[in-house]
Amino acid sequence: MGSKIRVTSRPASAIRHSGAVSRAVGPDAIAKALGAEAVPREDVHGAPISMHALRRQLEIRVRSTGGRPALEGATKIQKIPLTPEDWSRLEELAARLSQQGVSATAGQVASVMVHKQLELLGSATAGHRQLSRRAMKQRLGLEQRSPRRSAHQ
């Protein structure tokens, strides 16, 4: 077995972006220009995470600080039971993302998916609680019946 490789050179300095900064445009301005209603993606309940969103999250959150690239904020390492098929699919996803230039482990892919789904579940149940309170007020005659909620994409 070979000896452990030690990097003795100084770490490279941080890359600083010195180009022109693009003007930030808020969603409201874009919505007005498009004649549309802006809806935060997180408010569209029930939608599973897409490959695009998964790739985007990994691009943002996987950071290298000199060692193995780590998933930002994911500090708790837990053993989570998975079926062999699910683990294989996660490995396939990680390999597919790697081919697209996003380097992430199967565990990091799973972490991002769990995080996003828990967020969605949280906002969905919060919405349900709000509706339940509204329904209760209507039942008690404290509030007039409001129009039906608009459909989600």
Partner 1 sequence: MTGGWESEGGRVRREKTVIIYTYIKPERFIAHLPALREFLHRFGRETDQEVVVAELSGPEGSWFFRIKEYDEGGR
Q: Which residues bind partner 1 (CB under 8 A)?
A: 22-23, 25, 27, 30-31, 33-42, 44, 46, 52-53, 56, 60, 148, 150-153
Take residue 19 and report the two structure tokens written for it. 């180009």
- To the nearest whole angstrom, how small is the minimum distance from the Cβ of residue 73 to partner 1? 15
Q: Which is nearer to partner 1, 27 or 127 (CB)?
A: 27
- To the nearest whole angstrom, how small is the minimum distance from the Cβ of residue 45 to partner 1? 9
Beta partners for residue 63, in sequence order: 70
Of 23, 38, 68, 45, nearest in space to 117 by CA: 45
- To the nearest whole angstrom, how small is the minimum distance from the Cβ of residue 31 to partner 1? 6
- To the nearest whole angstrom, how small is the minimum distance from the Cβ of residue 3 to partner 1? 42
**DSSP assigned state of 41:** G
Q: Which is nearer to partner 1, 11 or 40 (CB)?
A: 40
Q: Which is nearer to partner 1, 31 or 82 (CB)?
A: 31
Residues 6+ apart with CB under 8 A from 90: 82, 106, 107, 109, 110
**DSSP assigned state of 49:** P
Residues 6+ apart with CB under 8 A from 135: none
